[in-house]
Structure 1
């Protein structure tokens, strides 16, 4: 079974939602038969590299909130994170994530995508040092995830590297009905929107597993050639 998760590194509910999903998956009896694929999403696609700003300013401008309301939102996220055992630093920066998504596709090719995503989340939400607009910071995190430093720098230096992969994920998000993140799609049959409680993810995993459908063979012949577990028979 495949679970696809659309997220953005700047999304605090993705940080919390990933932890809740991971908790549900760890308790799922068939967890070893579940493939988790991370997909890219951009909450702020108009933002460009170099214009990171404090999240409180972003919330006040973008939502029309007072500073008190923005602080209350951050305090709630700190409580929600703590409930999942996640550290959370209030007043972090918000910025350009496209390069991070490109690196996640690169890391995915190397089998290190899950590791890099976890490190990016922690760097953004749990550490004082900003993860935005600092390529060497991204190189440092990539190396910690098991990637080669020079190869990572080469990806960052080439704006076209993995860019279409990121854009394809964003287009696919629209196709599957995602209007925000996190958005979870199980076997392309069931969707779960938002950072739901772990119990919701547990029920969704169970339902998706129960509703797996075997492939319906619509064409085949007794004399058709096929390879089986004992190898390939030689036709006479």
Structure 2
């Protein structure tokens, strides 16, 4: 069975949602037969590569809040991350274009290293004071995940490398009706939107395994926490 996860490195609920999904997967009896594929979704497509700003400043400007109010917003997300055993820095983080990160994730996918790189990138972006929007940091993460340094630099130097793959993922997300991330699709039978509790993911895995119906939203009337296509996270 295949589980496809649309997400963005800049999305805190994708970071939290991945941890919750993995807990749900751990409770699934057939977890050894599940293939997980991570797909691209940019919260801010078309953003310039050099447009990198502190997260707190971005939130304050975007929502018309003071920096302290923006920190309070981040602290709320941090509490959810900490509950899942994840590190999360409220201050000292950057926000920028994730297009290059998605391109390198597609390179990693070809080598069976996508999950390893994604974990490293999430940790660097949310739990460490490393800007994943810096090419040297991204190269270091790719090498740590097991990718060849020269090949990684070659891809970064060519803005068209894996660009089609990123755009194809994003078009498919739109076709499936995903207007926010994280968005999980289970064997093209069930869809789960947002960072739902682990038990919802276990339920989706079980129902998809039984193959009872076409793509159906799960999680009841409550949508899990998401970041939408306009970059709004709630």
Q: What TM-score comes out, normalization by structure 2 length?
A: 0.88
- For 2:209 and 2:72, the matched residues in 1 are separated by 39
Q: Which residue of 2 aligns with 1:101?
A: 102
Which aligned pairs between 1:73-222 and structure 2 lie closer than 5 A? 73-91=73-91, 92-132=93-133, 134-211=134-211
Shift of 1:94: 0.6
- For 1:69 and 1:190, the matched residues in 2 are separated by 37
- For 2:212 and 2:51, the matched residues in 1 are separated by 45
Give the SS at the match of 1:147: coil
Answering whether residue 52 of structure 2 is matched by residue 35 of structure 1, we say no
Shift of 1:47: 1.5
Shift of 1:66: 3.2
CA contact (8 A) 2:87 2:126 kept: yes
Q: Which residue of 2 aligns with 1:47?
A: 47
How many residues are aligned here?
Answer: 212
Gaps of 5+ in 1: 214-236
Shift of 1:78: 1.1
- For 2:84 and 2:29, the matched residues in 1 are separated by 21
Q: Which residue of 2 aligns with 1:57?
A: 57
Greater than 6 Å deviation, 4+ residue runs: none
- For 1:40 and 1:207, the matched residues in 2 are separated by 25
CA contact (8 A) 2:13 2:195 kept: yes
Shift of 1:68: 3.5
Shift of 1:46: 3.2
Give the SS at the match of 1:172: helix
Q: Deviations over 1:121-169 (max 9, x none)?
A: 001001012111x211111100110111001101101111000000000
CA contact (8 A) 2:105 2:117 kept: yes
Shift of 1:105: 0.3
Gaps of 5+ in 2: 214-234
CA contact (8 A) 2:130 2:137 kept: no
CA contact (8 A) 2:39 2:169 kept: yes
* Larger of the two Rg values belongs to structure: 1
- For 1:211 and 1:89, the matched residues in 2 are separated by 41
- For 1:47 and 1:96, the matched residues in 2 are separated by 5
- For 1:67 and 1:89, the matched residues in 2 are separated by 15
